[in-house]
Amino acid sequence: MNVRMTIVLAVLCAAVAGYLYWVPDPNSETAAVDAPKITVTNTDSKAVFTVTVSKTADNTVQVARKTDGWQIVAPQQLSGDTIVIGPAVAAVANLAATSVITPTSSDLSGYGLVPPQFTIVTLDKNQKPIDTLMIGTRNPSGGARYVQHAGDAKVYLVNDGSLDTIEGWFTTLPIEPTPLPDVTTPAP
């Protein structure tokens, strides 16, 4: 028998055995199961027409849906960047949490919710409130934020970067970018 062929067959057998040993069987009861989605908000994002984000009474950003996109209403009237605002609003309309915390004390300062870091209020086309979310600090590992519905005792741990995007609006408004000049037109 050929020694080279025997070695190749032995390596192939070892590879197949390793694959069968380390790759889990998807039909097995021990296969990993995705954690259930914990719904924080569940609104059709197209039903959200106004979003008001506030740190304090003097530090507020408000955006409103217009027929041709989003507009910044406060702190000043500007055309909004639909590419930034649209996905952030959609994410807030459909927030999911990784866990729910039922605090044993009424003191929520440990979660950064007294006072909240900022508040997000969503309104429908008739300017009636859809939801009010209080956004707290990051959890100790820094991977998620504490979020609470106004008037609800539960605190949610939300891992969603859109909350950071919205918080960034306080320092950099999501204004519509300046269009690039037409390359066929010579510069003045």
* pLDDT at residue 27 is higher than 90: no
Residue 134 structural domain: 38-168
Model pLDDT for residues 54-78, shown as the tens digit of each residue? 998 789 999 999 988 899 999 999 9
DSSP per-residue string spanning 81-136: -HHHHHHHHHHHHT-EESEEE--SSS--GGGTBTTBSEEEEEE-TTS-EEEEEEEE
Let me know if residue 133 belongs to a domain.
yes
CB of 146 closer than 8 Å to CB of 153: no
Residue 160 lies in a domain: yes
**pLDDT tier, 49 (very low <50, low <70, confident <90, very high otherwise):** very high
pLDDT of residue 31: 47
* Residue 183 placed within a domain: no
pLDDT for the residue numbered 185: 60
* Residue 59 resides in a domain: yes
The pLDDT, as a whole number, for residue 140 is 87
Residues 134-181 pLDDT 10s: 999 988 888 889 999 888 888 999 987 888 899 999 999 998 887 777
pLDDT at residue 145 in the model: 92
- What CATH number does residue 46 fall under? 2.60.40
What domain count does the chain have?
Answer: 1
For residue 24, pLDDT beyond 90: no
Q: Tell whether 181 is covered by a domain.
A: no
Q: Is residue 33 part of a domain?
A: no
Residue 87's pLDDT is 92
